[in-house]
Amino acid sequence: MSDLKVTLIQTNLHWENIEDNLRMFDEKINAIQERTEIVVLPEMFSTGFSMAPERLAQTMDGSAVQWMKKKAAEKNIILTGSLIIEENGNYWNRLLWMQPNGVYGTYDKRHLFGFGGEHEHYQPGDKRLIAQVKGWKICLTVCYDLRFPVWSRNAILPETGEPAYDVLINVANWPERRSTPWKTLIHARAIENQCYAIGVNRVGNDGNNIYHSGDSSLIDPLGEILYRKSHDEDIFTTTLERSRLDEVRKNFPFLKDADKFQVF
């Protein structure tokens, strides 16, 4: 299996302004000079973390999803991030895994942030999404999911003898006032699941004057911090090395000793 090129975009967001956010991300993606295969955007990248889905939600045929399709095809990339979606009268904090050919997977945020009232406006998801690209398996999660390790727990699959996934991606709007848990949890998820862990957070103040310090991170399967950026906007492109992942799992086969349970 070959290496994988990924780009993390840490940025401020235009509060509840879909058009301005799509324009901004269009410019940032166009500015990427290196070859890349996956571009990761923050949680609710088109609006910020808003509790006004009644005003802001779009359908799967709306401008934000159409923009993702167009951009993924135009740049020949996989584009992922979450946005506010309305479907059958319900609202979802939905992550999309948009491929260049327009085929996409979806993951609806499982753990809604009760402290911020998210559960009063959105429906929780009940299924994990593990996407595949170039032989890599990628587990996709959203913000608050990071606090609940059972949901993202890796395991050796009996049918293949291989781990369920190789990379954990978490897209977030995680405030600076709780930045220590954010940095600690993304670190822990990489170590306990013997995977690369990518956390992409926003920066700046949102419409509720809550500040976000970013601290977007890339952690390797032994817990080494390969990238972390605080406070500033940044576009970071790097290569996930398959040989590093395989080496760690071969030399330290910890997953084989893990407790057995099933995530529904």
pLDDT band at 175 (very low <50, low <70, confident <90, very high): very high
Average pLDDT value for the chain: 97
Query: Can you give the pLDDT at residue 264?
Result: 56
256 in catalytic set: no
239 phi/psi in degrees, rounded to 5 = -115, 125
AA identity, residue 179 = S
Q: Is residue 112 part of a domain?
A: yes
The share of the chain scoring above pLDDT 70, in percent, equals 98
The number of folded domains in the chain is 1
Let me know the angle formed at the C-alpha of 18 by 41 and 48, rounded to the nearest 5 degrees. Answer: 55
Q: Tell which residue, 75, 81, 79, has the closest CA to residue 34.
A: 75
Residue 264 lies in a domain: no
Respond yes or no: is residue 28 known to be catalytic: no
DSSP string, 210-238: -EEEEEEEEE-TTS-EEEEEESS-EEEEE
Sign of CA dihedral 132, 138, 143, 146: positive
| pLDDT tens for each residue of 179-227 | 999 999 999 999 999 999 999 999 999 999 999 999 999 999 999 999 9
pLDDT band at residue 261 under the 50/70/90 scheme: confident
Listed residue (254, 128, 135) closest to 190, CA to CA: 254
Domain that includes residue 160, residue range: 4-257
Eight-state DSSP code of residue 208 = T
Would 262 be classed as within a structural domain? no
Would 152 be classed as within a structural domain? yes
State yes or no: pLDDT of 140 exceeds 80.
Answer: yes
Q: In the prediction, which pLDDT does 160 show?
A: 92
Residue 259: band (very low, low, confident or very high) from pLDDT cuts 50, 70, 90: confident
**Is pLDDT at 263 greater than 90 in this prediction?**
no
Angle formed at CA 17 by CA 11 and CA 20, multiple of 5 degrees = 65
CATH number at residue 101: 3.60.110.10
Bridge partners (DSSP) of residue 216 are: 229
Interval 42-63 mean pLDDT: 98
Burial per residue of 112-121, b for 16 or more beta-carbon CB atoms within 10 angstroms, e otherwise: bbeebebeeb
Classify strands 38-40 and 78-87 as parallel, antiparallel or unpaired: parallel
d(CA 68, CA 185): 29
Catalytic pick among 37, 69, 71, 109: 109
**pTM strictly above 0.85:** yes
Residue 139 known to be catalytic: no
- Does residue 217 fall inside a structural domain? yes
Q: Which of 16, 69, 71, 143 is catalytic?
A: 143
Where do runs of H (alpha helix) occur along 53-178? 53-56, 63-75
Mean pLDDT of 73-99: 98
Model confidence at 139, in pLDDT bands (50, 70, 90)? very high
Encoding tokens for residue 127?
């299924």
Segment 27-51 shows an average pLDDT of 98
The token pair at 138 is 């990628």
